[in-house]
Structure 1
Amino acid sequence: MAFLNCLKSTFFIWFLLVVACGNPTKTEKSTYEPTLVLTDTIVEKPIIVAANRTNAYLPLLKGKRVGIVGNQTTIIFKPSKDSINTPTPYIHLVDSLLSLQVDVKKVFAPEHGFRGVVDAGEKVKDGVDSKTGLPLISLYGKNRKPSAEQLKDIDVVLFDIQDVGVRFYTYIATLQLVMEACAAHDIPLIVLDRPNPNAHYIDGPTMEKAHTGFLGMTEIPLVYGMTIGEYAQMINGEKWIEGEKKADLTVIHLENWTHETEYSLPVRPSPNLPNDIAINLYPSLGLFEGTNVNAGRGTELQFQCYGASFLDSTQYSFRYTPMPNFGSKSPKENGKICFGKDLSEFPRMSEVSVQWLIDANINSEDKTKVFNKSGFTKHAGTEKLQEQIEKGELEETIKESWQADLTKFKKIRNKYLLYL
């Protein structure tokens, strides 16, 4: 991918792609140096996503029957003379591979489906892609792990999904289950890496083993500061695959990106993450998913506001009414006037905030309405956070209680980082 740090102020260019392939458990190094773009000033080197580095992975697909795990973010960026004033041009990876006569047999679709239009939590059905005619196998329906039958005609699996670096965002759970299936059936897995827009920090409560599930399969913090490729290596290295097996894993890495690099997504990664602000606020406002408070679903401010009809109207000047819309057929507080806060102009965050949860709990006219205990525990990864909020603990006290686990995780994480 040729893509600059922020589409709001910069743009990307097309470039040549050349790299040497690495071994199954380590990434490869590239000797290619992208050309600088000259405008009024010299800009930084563009970020190159793994999908654009075709020379690195096409040889691994030659003569193989390929299965793709992907969605609407599984894209290759195209050349553009003017990407400042026009949408970022791209082609879907599946379309590109088919045009190159790669033998793609089927597509495995995660939550929200292959085209990314299915509501959160809604079952994704098997089917046939209308554009390519390829079979679509749901990994968010009757099964969440590819079965032996579904993999019997596959020689290699290619995984390419844009992640946002939050534990309960289910694409990393899908990754882990795909790795388990590949390990069980001796099928190589290639992960095409993409930037994590929330990779610049690590924070939040750590998932406790007793509460692991599809919203958090491993004992990691809410925000873990890794790309999906780095995390795949951690899954392998920490023996988190069922039976402590290892997948035959190859990670095709990014170029010209670090964990501190700001990254603007050209395609929404899921229906209710429409822009950079929502993605940045998602680690904090996503915790409202385990409550009865609306976090903007059913509005055009998804994960950029919160509110509820049972919050004290005298404490808030902002109000809105959630209604069914794209990605939210039946939002919380549907049709009700919600009182809360608009955070759509909140500065870029580098930590998880629980202050908004504390605020909603304090200002609820009925304290029993705020938390859905089971749902909140699954999102938080622990029962302790709800208990702390209901006891009236201050945010700094709550965040201090996370530090020992965060320190432990950071030491493990350091072993698997691919980018400084």
Structure 2
Amino acid sequence: MLGNEVLMQERHDLIQGKRVGLVTNQSGVTSTGESMIDILANDPSVNLTALFGPEHGIDGKASAGAYVKSYTHPQLGIPVYSLYGETRMPTREMFSNIDVLLFDVQDIGARTYTYMSTLNYCLVAAEKYNKPVIVLDRPNPLGGVIVDGPVLEDRYKSFVGVDNLPMAHGMTAGELARFFNRKIGADLTVVPMKGYNRTMIYQDTGLKWVPTSPNIPNLDSVFGYMATGLGEGTGIYQADKFTWIGGKGIDSNRFAQLLNNSGLQGVKYIPEPKGSAGGVKLKITDYHLFNPAKSGIYALAYARSLNNFKVPVSGDTIVMFDKVMGTDKIGKYLQQGLSPQQIEAKYAPALAEFKRERTKYLIPDYGPPVATGGITVFVDGKPLYFDVEPYIDSNGRTMVPFRAIAEALGAVVEWSSGVGTVTITKGAQEIVFTVNKTQAVVNGRTRYIDTKPVIRNGRTMVPARYVGEFLGADVKWENGVQKVIITS
């Protein structure tokens, strides 16, 4: 159930008998496609007194960046206030005839997409004018696993980045509202979804995608938005509704080769020139593994290695490229000729800190975060959850709770507390680890390992690589984003 359905079926008391303002657009529908505007307008116990539209207008048809006028709704006779016209911040007058403000807009999971900026501004105005806000939660279409990209710094705040978020934040609208509100202090209520888990991407929800704006007609555009659209002012641009990236001076074949050999997961790049521009078409092969923010950074770094584009530089005025990145550091790294992997490593510490901060605002009903300390573990494309965080020990090995990783690989686990051994069995394979010993017994033969299993916070931690490889799995480590990928 979406947040709007939970509101109407279980939390109707929040709006009963009240004058309601609704921030929405064409995406504000129930799981069966019914508009919240129609639902509230036809509810005799609610007085819908005002509508508010974000960028693209309440029908989602205006072009990106286009000025949208306020008007009176022709059927309902109530004001439709534009929050992308004369003002982006609701005014006292706009709030004068409402008791409560509802927010029901579908986001796409990218910091630069302005619908969540509108949410932030609504919270600021609501606190100023003493109006409660109710956010009706919706899925993050990218899911809650991928959290990546440079974290926005205060100097670079703008309407394409209103708070200290990475490019891909992995949060729902309700979770973002909670995060924003840590600095705002509005009277906020989030109505969570039911049956949603943060490991879900939009395809897992069973919901029909409603185009959120003219250039985001489908889920390929959603997933391609950050992967192709980060080159503002560089001459590297997106096309085909965020499914192509390229520019002049780019060798399409070489560009595709660099990207395809970079280790990016869940995507293939197809060489595709467009007129005088060279570029690549994205073919997403695994939407769960695909990392749009990381892919976008890689594409820019490789593009600059091919055509040496001029990097926009901020002075007294912040250039749009730095607003999109949330920092001027990415531009500097590109000027220095850093590889995408080196750029990742540069922004990784701030990203890890954000992941820790983010956990305070996640909705518990959606499941635990994948990892709070920055290390994530995927087995056959699915994230693992741990009650004790993975960590890197003094020998450089990623240590994980043994039971979760072994069982994810289809093994049976037995712990013998008396002798401190962990026995992992899968078919004819048997592996025995002993706490505080640098050896394991694999199918009856002693194998030496370069780190010791230990007990930490009541859990036996073992090196992920050895568990995976001893069970015949392929184990890869992505250093820049601290990710373990195990494929059985």
TM range (shorter): 0.7 to 0.9
The CA deviation string for residues 348-391 of structure 1, in whole angstroms up to 9 with x for no partner, is 21352212112222222x633x6576111010011110111222
* Deviation at residue 255 of structure 1 after TM alignment: 1.1
Out of 60, 72, 78, which is 2:26 matched to? 72
- Kindly indicate whether residue 339 of structure 2 is the aligned counterpart of residue 339 of structure 1: no
* Deviation at residue 286 of structure 1 after TM alignment: 2.5
CA distance in 2, matches of 1:208, 1:309: 31
* Deviation at residue 346 of structure 1 after TM alignment: 5.0
CA distance in 2, matches of 1:132, 1:186: 26
SS of corresponding position for 1:120: coil
SS of corresponding position for 1:205: coil
Out of 334, 358, 362, which is 2:301 matched to? 358
**Which residue type is aligned with residue 394 of structure 1?**
S
* Deviation at residue 263 of structure 1 after TM alignment: 1.2
Out of 181, 198, 212, which is 2:157 matched to? 212
* Deviation at residue 269 of structure 1 after TM alignment: 1.6
The CA deviation string for residues 147-183 of structure 1, in whole angstroms up to 9 with x for no partner, is 0011111111000111122111111111111011111
Contact 1:290 1:378 in 2 (8 A): no
The CA deviation string for residues 288-338 of structure 1, in whole angstroms up to 9 with x for no partner, is 245332201xxxx21111123443467574123xxxxxxxxxxxxxxx653
Contact 1:168 1:222 in 2 (8 A): yes
- CA RMSD for the aligned pairs? 2.0
Distance change in 2, residues 1:344/1:411 (3 Å): same
- Partner residue in 1 for 2:64: 120
Question: Please, which moves more after superposition, 93-102 or 372-381?
Answer: 372-381
CA distance in 2, matches of 1:284, 1:346: 14
CA distance in 1, matches of 2:29, 2:253: 47
CA distance in 2, matches of 1:358, 1:410: 24
- Kindly indicate whether residue 9 of structure 2 is the aligned counterpart of residue 52 of structure 1: no
**Which residue type is aligned with residue 135 of structure 2?**
V
Out of 226, 229, 245, which is 1:306 matched to? 245
* Deviation at residue 268 of structure 1 after TM alignment: 1.4
Contact 1:212 1:381 in 2 (8 A): yes
Contact 2:135 2:189 in 1 (8 A): yes
Correspondences of 1:230-249 after superposition (within 5 Å): 230-236=175-181, 238-239=182-183, 241=184, 246-249=185-188
Structure 2 gaps of 5+ residues are: 256-270, 368-488
Out of 116, 120, 142, which is 1:176 matched to? 120
Contact 1:290 1:372 in 2 (8 A): no
Correspondences of 1:101-140 after superposition (within 5 Å): 101=44, 102-140=46-84
**Which residue type is aligned with residue 164 of structure 1?**
I
- Work out which of the two has the higher radius of gyration on C-alpha atoms and give 1 or 2: 2
- Partner residue in 2 for 1:260: 199
- Partner residue in 1 for 2:335: 390
CA distance in 1, matches of 2:76, 2:277: 43
Contact 1:50 1:253 in 2 (8 A): yes
**Which residue type is aligned with residue 107 of structure 1?**
L
- Kindly indicate whether residue 338 of structure 2 is the aligned counterpart of residue 402 of structure 1: no
- Partner residue in 2 for 1:284: 227
CA distance in 2, matches of 1:372, 1:411: 31
SS of corresponding position for 2:94: helix
Contact 1:291 1:375 in 2 (8 A): no
**Which residue type is aligned with residue 75 of structure 1?**
V
Contact 1:49 1:193 in 2 (8 A): yes
* Deviation at residue 58 of structure 1 after TM alignment: 2.4
- Partner residue in 1 for 2:237: 294
Question: Please, which moves more after superposition, 225-234 or 262-271?
Answer: 262-271
- Partner residue in 2 for 1:367: 309
* Deviation at residue 277 of structure 1 after TM alignment: 1.9
SS of corresponding position for 1:75: coil
* Deviation at residue 142 of structure 1 after TM alignment: 1.2
**Which residue type is aligned with residue 147 of structure 1?**
T
Out of 353, 360, 366, which is 1:415 matched to? 360
CA distance in 2, matches of 1:125, 1:107: 13
SS of corresponding position for 2:229: helix
**Which residue type is aligned with residue 181 of structure 1?**
A
- Kindly indicate whether residue 326 of structure 2 is the aligned counterpart of residue 381 of structure 1: yes
- Partner residue in 2 for 1:186: 130
Contact 1:361 1:367 in 2 (8 A): yes
CA distance in 2, matches of 1:182, 1:126: 19
SS of corresponding position for 1:157: strand
- Kindly indicate whether residue 171 of structure 2 is the aligned counterpart of residue 226 of structure 1: yes
Structure 1 gaps of 5+ residues are: 1-47, 79-89, 321-335
CA distance in 1, matches of 2:233, 2:162: 17
- Kindly indicate whether residue 148 of structure 2 is the aligned counterpart of residue 195 of structure 1: no
Contact 1:148 1:185 in 2 (8 A): yes
CA distance in 2, matches of 1:130, 1:292: 43
The CA deviation string for residues 71-102 of structure 1, in whole angstroms up to 9 with x for no partner, is 11100133xxxxxxxxxxx1110011111132
- Kindly indicate whether residue 44 of structure 2 is the aligned counterpart of residue 91 of structure 1: no
SS of corresponding position for 1:69: strand
Aligned residues: 335
Distance change in 2, residues 1:56/1:117 (3 Å): same
Contact 1:69 1:161 in 2 (8 A): yes
CA distance in 1, matches of 2:74, 2:107: 25
**Which residue type is aligned with residue 350 of structure 2?**
D
CA distance in 2, matches of 1:56, 1:186: 25
* Deviation at residue 400 of structure 1 after TM alignment: 0.9
Out of 207, 212, 215, which is 1:272 matched to? 215
